[in-house]
Amino acid sequence: MTFDRKLTIDADAFFDDRLGTSGVPRASVAALAPRLTVLRERLDAWRRGDAPSYFGLPFAGEEKEFTRRAREFAGRFARTIVFGIGGSSLGGEMLVRILGGRRHPVTFYDNVDPTTLAELDRVDWRETLLIVISKSGTTAETLAQLLTVLPALEASLGANKLRQHILAVTESPQGDLARIASALGCEVLHHPAVGGRYSVLSVVGLLPAALAGVDIEALLAGARDMATRCLAPKLESNPALFQAATQYLHAERGRTLCVQLAYADRLRPITRWYRQLLAESVGKIDASGSPRGLTPIDAHGTTDQHSQLQLYLEGPDDKQFTLLYDPTLATRGLRVDARFAELPAVAPLSGHTTGELFHAEFRATRETLTRRKRPNRTLSLGADASALGELIILLETETVALAELLGVDAFDQPAVEEGKQLTRDYLRSG
Amino acid sequence: MTFDRKLTIDADAFFDDRLGTSGVPRASVAALAPRLTVLRERLDAWRRGDAPSYFGLPFAGEEKEFTRRAREFAGRFARTIVFGIGGSSLGGEMLVRILGGRRHPVTFYDNVDPTTLAELDRVDWRETLLIVISKSGTTAETLAQLLTVLPALEASLGANKLRQHILAVTESPQGDLARIASALGCEVLHHPAVGGRYSVLSVVGLLPAALAGVDIEALLAGARDMATRCLAPKLESNPALFQAATQYLHAERGRTLCVQLAYADRLRPITRWYRQLLAESVGKIDASGSPRGLTPIDAHGTTDQHSQLQLYLEGPDDKQFTLLYDPTLATRGLRVDARFAELPAVAPLSGHTTGELFHAEFRATRETLTRRKRPNRTLSLGADASALGELIILLETETVALAELLGVDAFDQPAVEEGKQLTRDYLRSG
């Protein structure tokens, strides 16, 4: 089958031929190839399924089963609520908000702020499916969410029916979440042995997405296409490894802030998902004991032209930019009324659609960044399942490659344990 | 009148007595006093109303008039829609989302993404007030918003009634927005000669807030209280100048990323407003031709403990932190069910409310940042009008003082003009 690629990458303004001395030479990027050989081989092994990995998820072949289960649940329930935090919610929420329909609303609760949780008082649990996701089975926020609403569910449904309304997703059947679910008689779905921030293409993201009507088969087809391209042995032909090596070189020159600037309201949830992916994967101490890390920053066009652009253009040269752009917007929107065209500020707008204005503003921002020698690239995609699948594997694999180049483990998060212990201590001492 | 102060500042973990060599000595802060003398005198002049300024707004005495007008409008209309971008929306949206009630919804459109604007097709304009805000009167996005929906308003209302449904807020009566409004017969309210990002306590923020039911008199009372404190001649007694000088010293040590971490879902809009305030005010070229600037980063607890905290604790020491915390949350929320207390992850939670868990997590994050020698302070406030008024003047005055210390003009944004011109060129050439 030929695959109609829907994600395009334009990274010209990362390089010296476009950006002068502020760009990096393509030859310097190519010279990093030996440092990524081992990772390239690991991707191969992950692709074959030798070990559980985010990279093998698109090839797991579970999408038909998730689609079938989702259809069954959507027939029985009017809506789904998901309890989860961090990697247990950001990926699924991204898929649902970008691609989901209105027929079966799927809502995510990722905090324990009591003001927000008070909304749950108004839920009619008789027609609601509750999915509770915690890889470890011990996440304090998620367990607290479940155990504060449980009495309301029991009161509304009775203990017998309750079991049909709750699904738990967790890795170990011996973990606390699995034990609670079993005690209540609820089904437990297996969370694969893949870190939360890399779990979006597993049950964690796919089941909520399928419930919201997302075409997860197209999503995974796009993901498989990108994964295959990311196995290319030659660095220049390998999108993720080449892009990561380029970003690494900019970071080595002090551009350690990675601004992801979404030009399309619907693409904004990507930036929330990505900032966890990047920050937790690369922000840590390397083998020599030095702190490493790139800081993700999420921004949105055109709004942030009136908020952050001044800093981006004239502030310190400590940033590199990824613009996410939806080219389909250019042909949409209402037309500016033809009256008042004699006014100087209206004249250039007159007769144009808001989509044309949006497109012109995107182009102007990109060009201004380039003229000011700020390294930038554009990833173009519509709100389209296969394109989003491509983007997910691209950004995940770039992140793993950045961690490899920075000399840190992409898959752990050792520093956050101390806070979890302190939280328990404070609760005990009141 | 004695004023019951509702904002508290705890900056201990900025200083060396708490943070060792990662903190700054209080004496070094005090030594910056001479560099802020001129600004302190300027604040005095602004307070007296010698020149238009954000600092004089709380003393302008317009709140009773805005409250009266808002009451009249709220009686005639079911909802308000605001068109504006950047400083014309972020401040008002902050007030409305934090403090507004449900009786009269006020909704802000700050982008020209045609997907989002399509929502406007469903508006019943017969019961809607439209406020259009542009200081310059030439903002492309705002004019495009107005001139794309105008035909729908005319079709729904007729040209005669239309004039009662649109209010324009702009500075010059000769500007394009004022001329459109006059041609349509609509009222034009004066935007004071204060930059958009400093305009929240003028008609720009106050009128939408009053429409949403916000107690703008309490808001301004809090603002006046803080403004008075910010006139204190002694640096150590002047909250904004002292805090700014402290942040400046951390920035000079390489901590140029200012993370504002909101621990309360309702306080999140502060971080969106603040990131414009800081970025546009200080991100620019100084008199010697060097790029200066601090980069604001918005984050949210507890969610970002599972997303950004790993980077904050173990990544590069390039950040300083402001936690925004609502202490009233600690006493709210449902109680975790007493069952399952034998499970190790449930035991510490059992019998506690979500508010207690939230409070314990906030304390744990703050303590972990301090133990890892990451400079941090906490600003505590509830979702309360007078406390928010205090906070607004504090953060604005801090920002002006930071610009003074960095040697840049807090009130201009010279770099964004080029992109505006390019947008017009692209629209003309198609």
Burial of A226 from C-beta contacts in 10 A (0-12 / 13-18 / 19+): buried
SS3 content of chain A, % helix, strand, coil (to 5): 55, 15, 30
Q: What is the CATH number of domain B62-214?
A: 3.40.50.10490
d(CA A239, CA B241): 49
3-state secondary structure of B316: coil
Nearest-CA neighbor of B84 among B267, B347, B330, B276?
B276
A246-281 per-position pLDDT tens digit: 999 999 999 999 999 999 999 999 999 999 999 999
Question: Average pLDDT in the B244-256 region?
Answer: 98
φ, ψ at A317 (rounded to 5°): -85, 60
Q: Which of B171, B306, B428 to mutate to test the interface with A (most CBs of A within 10 A)?
A: B306
Q: For chain B, say whether A407 makes contact (Cβ under 8 Å).
A: no
Task: Please give the pLDDT value at position B4.
Answer: 57
According to DSSP, the residues that pair with A108 across neighbouring strands are A82
Residues of A in contact with B86 (CB under 8 A): 303, 305-307
pLDDT of residue B159: 87
Quick one: which H or E segment has residue A210?
helix A203-211
Contact A82, A235 (CB under 8 A): no
Over the stretch B82-119, which tens digit does the pLDDT of each residue have?
999 999 999 999 999 999 999 999 999 999 999 999 99
Q: How far apart are CA B402 and CA B246, in angstroms?
A: 10
Give the sign of the dihedral formed by CA A66, CA A71, CA A74, CA A75.
Answer: negative
Alpha-carbon span A400 to A246, nearest angstrom: 14
The backbone torsions φ and ψ at residue A381, rounded to the nearest 5 degrees and listed phi first, read -160, 150
The helix/strand/coil state of A129 is strand
Q: What does the pLDDT average to over A195-202? A: 98
Distances A113 to A89, A119, A425, B264, B364 between C-alpha atoms, Å: 16, 11, 20, 6, 15
Rg, C-alpha atoms of chain B: 23
Residues of A with a catalytic annotation lie at 280, 306, 420
Contact yes or no for B112/B147 (Cβ under 8 A): no
* B138 touching A (Cβ < 8 Å): yes
| Structure-token match 């503003």, residue found | A361
Name the DSSP class of B383: S
Q: What is the pLDDT of residues A50-74, one digit of tens each?
A: 899 999 999 999 999 999 999 999 9
C-alpha A377: how far from chain center: 18
Is B321 in contact with B251 (CB distance < 8 Å)? no
Cβ neighbourhood burial of A317 (10 Å; 0-12, 13-18, 19+) = middle
Closest approach of B285 to chain A, Cα-based (Å): 6
Segment A132-158 shows an average pLDDT of 97
pLDDT tens figures, A383-418: 999 999 999 999 999 999 999 999 999 999 999 999
Distance of alpha carbon B195 from the chain centroid = 13
The pLDDT of residue A4? 57
Q: Do domains B8-42+223-414 and B62-214 have the same CATH topology?
A: yes
Q: Does residue A34 belong to the interface with chain B, where contact is any CB pair within 8 Å? A: no
Place of tokens 């950045």: A402
Distance from chain centroid for Cα B292: 22
CA distance A139 to A154: 22
Give one word for A255, left, alpha or beta, with left for phi > 0 and alpha for psi -120 to 50.
beta
Instruction: Respond yes or no: is residue B280 known to be catalytic.
Output: yes
Where does the pLDDT of residue A1 fall: very low under 50, low under 70, confident under 90, or very high at 90 and above? very low
Is-contact A329 A363, C-beta < 8 A?
no
The CA-to-CA distance between both ends of chain A, in Å, stands at 62
pLDDT bucket at B55, cuts 50 / 70 / 90: very high
pLDDT level of residue B30 (50, 70, 90 thresholds): very high
The partner residue sitting opposite B265, judged by closest CB among A111, A150, A329, is: A111
Q: Do B85 and A309 touch (CB under 8 A)?
A: no
* CATH code, residues A8-42+219-414: 3.40.50.10490
Backbone angles phi, psi at B52, to 5 degrees: -65, 140
CA B258 to CA B4: how far, in whole Å? 29
Which CA distances in Å does B318 have to B148, B251, B252? Answer: 45, 8, 10
Residue B5's pLDDT band, with cuts at 50, 70 and 90, is low
* Beta-strand pair A291-292/A284-285: antiparallel
B345-357 in b/e burial notation, b at 16+ Cβ within 10 A?
bbebbbebbbbbb
Share of chain A above pLDDT 90, in %: 97
SS3 category, A166? strand
Nearest CA among A118, A150, A278 for reference residue B358? A118
Please tell me which residue of chain A has the smallest CA distance to B266.
Answer: A115
Does the pTM surpass 0.95? The reply is: yes
User: B302 and A85 in contact by Cβ < 8 A?
Assistant: yes
Cα A245 to the center of its chain, rounded Å: 21
Taking residue B1's Cβ as centre, other Cβ atoms within 10 Å add up to 5
> What is the distance between the alpha carbons of residues A308 and B72, in angstroms, rounded to a whole number?
36
Query: In the structure, what pLDDT confidence band is assigned to residue A326 with cuts at 50, 70 and 90?
Result: very high
Report yes or no: B114 and A329 within 8 Å, Cβ to Cβ.
yes
Confidence of residue B214 (pLDDT cuts 50, 70, 90): very high
How far is the alpha carbon of B33 from chain A, nearest alpha carbon, in Å?
Answer: 25
Quick: pLDDT tens for B267-322.
999 999 999 999 999 999 999 999 999 999 999 999 999 999 999 999 999 999 99
Q: Is the model's pLDDT at B430 over the cut of 80?
A: no
Per residue in A334-389, pLDDT (tens digit) is 999 999 999 999 999 999 999 999 999 999 999 999 999 999 999 999 999 999 99
* Subunit contact A306:B87, Cβ cutoff 8 A: yes
Confirm or reject CATH 3.40.50.10490 for domain B8-42+223-414, answering yes or no. Answer: yes
Q: Smallest Cβ distance to A311: which of B279, B300, B414?
A: B279
pLDDT for residue A223 is more than 70: yes
Hey, CA dihedral for B236, B239, B245, B248, is it positive or negative?
Answer: positive
Q: Rounded to an integer, what distance in angstroms lies between the CA atom of residue A367 and that of residue A217?
A: 37
- B172-196: pLDDT as tens digits: 999 999 999 999 999 999 999 999 9
pLDDT, average across residues A160-174: 96
Is the pLDDT confidence value at B80 over 90? yes
Task: Provide the CB-side half-sphere exposure for A134 (13 A, CA).
Answer: 25
pLDDT band at B255 (very low <50, low <70, confident <90, very high): very high
Residue A3 scores a pLDDT above 70: no
Mean residue pLDDT of chain A comes to: 96
CA–CA separation, B393 and B55 (whole Å):
7
Average pLDDT over residues B16-25: 97
pLDDT tens-digit profile of B198-209? Answer: 999 999 999 999
Q: Could you tell me the pLDDT band of residue A5, with boundaries at 50, 70 and 90?
A: low
User: What average pLDDT does the structure give for chain B?
Assistant: 96
Domain locations along chain A: 8-42+219-414, 62-214
Closest Cα to residue B296, out of B285, B308, B283?
A: B283
Q: Based on the number of CB atoms within 10 Å of its own CB, is A216 exposed (0-12), middle (13-18) or buried (19 or more)?
A: buried
